[in-house]
């Protein structure tokens, strides 16, 4: 890789019943020399009994 590729990931979880769940995950990666730079957001709600 030459470091010009970018990756965007979007995950959505939904249930909101049978003990609730709701999530939105967004992250983006950009490969760099020796690794990658990752940024992301996570919004969530979860309940279980």
Task: Report the C-alpha gap between 37 and 2 in whole angstroms.
Answer: 14
Q: What's the mean pLDDT in 4-12?
A: 81
Q: What's the mean pLDDT in 8-23?
A: 86
pTM, 2 dp: 0.51
What digits encode the pLDDT tens for the residues 19-35? 888 989 888 887 776 76
* Residue 3 confidence class, pLDDT cut points 50, 70, 90: low
Nearest to 46 by CA among 23, 17, 21, 25: 21
Contact 3, 33 (CB under 8 A): yes
């Amino acid at each position: 890789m030459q470091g010009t590729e970018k990756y965007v990931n979007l995950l959505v979880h939904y249930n909101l019943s049978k003990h609730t769940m709701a999530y939105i995950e967004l992250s983006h990666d950009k490969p760099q020399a020796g690794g990658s730079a990752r940024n992301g957001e996570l919004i969530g709600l979860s309940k279980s009994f």
